[in-house]
Chain A
Amino acid sequence: MTHAVEVDGVSKKFGSLAAVNNVSFNIESGEFFCLIGPSGSGKTTTLRLLAGLVQPDSGRILIHGDDYTHVPTFKRPISMVFQTWALFPHLTVFDNVAFGLRMRNAPRQTIQEEVRKTLELVRMSEYANRKPRELSGGQQQRVGIARALVVRPDIILLDEPLGNLDFKLQLQLQEELSQMHRQLRITFVYVTHDQRQAMALGERVCVMNNGNIEQLDETAKVYSKPSNVFVARFVGESNIVEGSVKSSGGGKNTVETVLGSFVFDGGSFQREQRVWLFWRPENTLIASESASGDYAFEGVVSAIETSGQVTQYVVDVGGIPIRAVKTGLPDPEIGEKAKVSVGVKRDQILLLDTPSVSETGQVERAVLGA
């Protein structure tokens, strides 16, 4: 089966800055694909490349197996929700949504029908006759979504479509987008810098940084098995302890850190290689004394944060902050400044050997240049 989208070695430079740096990936048909990454990492540029709004300096873009690299935007089976909405100021909400259908010369009846249905879907029916300037940011955003959805593209590109909404509405629309995706089986390419949205929506997540792909995996895997320190830090909360490999052999590695030495099975490392231990806060065990787990450390609680549903403790262990998350309100036995014990099981710890793809890239370039 062909992929919905195939990005093959695509680069785009602005001046000397590589906004997208020799990137390759596939998006499957009907998939909910999330692109996340910090500000300026190249997410919007990637979407614009897919839409044909910018031309790649090199590489190819295939859609359903056909080369679309040089096909103009209006001929691509793609529509887009813009980060800044980009509604037509002179058109009413209805006419904004109808625009794409009119460009396809759809019959009047169809336009009426489809626009009405789509406005209902984004709950904007009562605003049909308003102009964009008479709408709130969140309402404009929903019109932007409706305008892109109504044309039933094969692929819809969404650039932070829920960025301007309050949390409640965000959750609500997130649910609706998810439902639309299940109903319409359109391929969704969804950009966000909010990893929670990516977790909630994405079937697969692509983490970008400095124009590179740091990791592309199933959503759960990106969370539980980040491939490097950047991804571990960017997606969710994390505990990261730097160390170096002291001995390696016999299928065992010993890693020396300020928290003591850790022994791991498998993997081949060089001696003195820089590595990072990683585990999620929900896997940190915390107790007022002698926490369970294969490794345990004594520390002092330096911060407690609670949402009511979950409570996060930050424990200072010899200058290193270790995070622990437990459900429910704060434990009265574990107050701020309290001496506590934190522990972690060996099989919850992941050994990471790269800071990030972009950094190894630099190292390689330095080596090649030398």
Chain B
Amino acid sequence: MSSEQGSKNLGSYLLVAPTLVVVVVFLVLPLLLVLRVSFLHHVPLGYTNQPTLENYGFVFTNEGVRNTLAFTLETASIVTAVSLLLAYPVAYFLARKVKSFTLKTGFLVFLLIPFWIDFTTRSLAWIPWLGTQGIINDALLAIGAINQPATIFLYSSFAMDLVMVQAYTLFMVAPLFISMSKIDPILYEAAQTLGASRLRTFLHINLRLTLPGMGIGCVFVFLSSLADFATPKLIGGLVTSIGELIKDNVTFINLPNASAISALVVVIALAVLVLTFRLTHVEQIFE
């Protein structure tokens, strides 16, 4: 009996085998490689096989690395928080107020429009809006709110946050929408018959039951912003990102340093992911 079950299990594992192969060959192995290089001694244009902790010494003591990392984490946190605040009402509206399924689908497709255009083009599309000769500045000048073009709209961390929020909010809306749609509306009624006011019903039922969706959305947005180095460069102007820093180190052929920074980012990302999933009871998605 147990062998029969065993073979059945093996059969279902075959379903994920192709993906597993791709993940192992193209993700896990390269990561392990990066991890190895991060412990190797740097020489000009390469590295030797001599193990060392000097790269991590550099990562943890270098002020530039620390500042950039802090800035990137701060950006990712801001973008995640703003996305959550913007996406929650949208998902609530879609899941609870729009009754027709056609309309629901319509709204979702509408939200997907930005994804029809590639990422760089989409980022560049902001420039005619935010630039010193952009529409916003023109409008503000025209109504006399300012007397010379403001520079904060483009090539600023504000602009960068804005563009990232626009790019990643859908990653927040989708899981929120799904977890909110899964809630049986009768639960709100049950809470109210037990004496819960509208606010408490929202907190104890709606907010609580969408926690897993929030968790997944936050992780998506946070990790996407963390990994984004195009937006800081194109829209943020002089600001630099941790991705940019890694790229620079690769360009100047200091692979051990680049690897050590990468390893640190991976560890941070993993920690954020595990912590968020824990706090938001993501396992309840499967209930």
Contact = CB atoms under 8 A, between A and B. Distances in A.
B186 A90 contact: no
Contacts of B204: 99
A211 to B, nearest CB: 21
B193 A73 contact: yes
A103 B189 CA distance: 14
Interface string A8-23: 0000000000000000
B122 to A, nearest CB: 38
Given A88-B205, A89-B287, A90-B284, A99 B186 contact: no
A79 B194 contact: yes
Contacts of A200: none
A90 B187 CA distance: 11
A82 B190 contact: yes
A52 B197 CA distance: 13
Interface in B194-224: 194-198, 200-201, 204-205, 208-209
A133 interface: yes
Interface in B175-195: 184, 186-187, 189-195
B187 A148 contact: no
A72 interface: yes
Contacts of B201: 74
A104 interface: yes
Interface string B152-185: 0000000000000000000000000000000010
Given A79-B194, A100-B195, A133-B287, A90 B189 contact: no
A51 interface: yes
A51 B200 CA distance: 18
Given A86-B184, A103-B200, A133-B287, A151 B194 contact: yes
A51 B193 contact: yes
A162 B42 CA distance: 75
Contacts of A133: 287
A84 interface: yes
A78 interface: yes
Interface residues of B, number: 22
Contacts of B200: 103
A315 B142 CA distance: 95
Contacts of B284: 90
A278 B114 CA distance: 72
Interface string A137-162: 00000000001100100000100000
Interface string B241-252: 000000000000
Nearest to A76: B193
B136 to A, nearest CB: 44
B179 to A, nearest CB: 11
Contact of B195 (A53, A84, A103, A157): A103
A151 B195 contact: yes
A80 B193 contact: yes
Contact of A99 (B184, B194, B197, B198): B194
Interface string B219-243: 0000000000000000000000000
B35 to A, nearest CB: 38
Given A89-B287, A90-B208, A147 B194 contact: yes
Contacts of B192: 52-53, 72-74
Which of the listed residues A89, A147, A151 has the most CB atoms from chain B within 10 Å of its own CB?
A: A89
Which of the listed residues B187, B195, B200 has the most CB atoms from chain A within 10 Å of its own CB?
A: B195
A55 to B, nearest CB: 13
A145 to B, nearest CB: 13
A103 B191 CA distance: 9
Contacts of B187: 86, 88-89
A142 to B, nearest CB: 15
Which of the listed residues B194, B197, B200 has the most CB atoms from chain A within 10 Å of its own CB?
A: B194
Contacts of A90: 208-209, 281, 284, 287
Contacts of A80: 190, 193
Contacts of A74: 192-198, 201
Interface string A65-104: 0000000111000111010101111100000000110011
B234 to A, nearest CB: 43
Contacts of B189: 51, 53, 73, 82, 86
B193 A148 contact: yes
Nearest to A78: B193
Which of the listed residues A84, A87, A88, A104 has the most CB atoms from chain B within 10 Å of its own CB?
A: A88
B194 A100 contact: yes
A175 B284 CA distance: 37
A82 B194 CA distance: 12
A103 B190 contact: no
A80 B187 CA distance: 12
Nearest to B186: A86
A73 B186 CA distance: 13
Nearest to B190: A86
Nearest to B182: A89
B287 A88 contact: no
B150 to A, nearest CB: 48
Contacts of B209: 89-90
A143 B187 CA distance: 14
Given A90-B209, A133-B287, A82 B196 contact: no
Contacts of A88: 187, 190-191, 205
Contacts of A100: 194-195
Interface string A289-317: 00000000000000000000000000000
A211 B7 CA distance: 58
Given A74-B197, A86-B190, 17 more contacts: A51-B193, A72-B192, A72-B197, A72-B198, A73-B193, A74-B198, A79-B194, A82-B186, A86-B184, A86-B187, A90-B208, A90-B209, A99-B191, A99-B194, A99-B196, A103-B195, A147-B194
Interface of A: 51-53, 72-74, 78-80, 82, 84, 86-90, 99-100, 103-104, 131, 133, 147-148, 151, 157
6 contacts: A53-B193, A72-B197, A73-B192, A82-B186, A86-B189, A104-B195
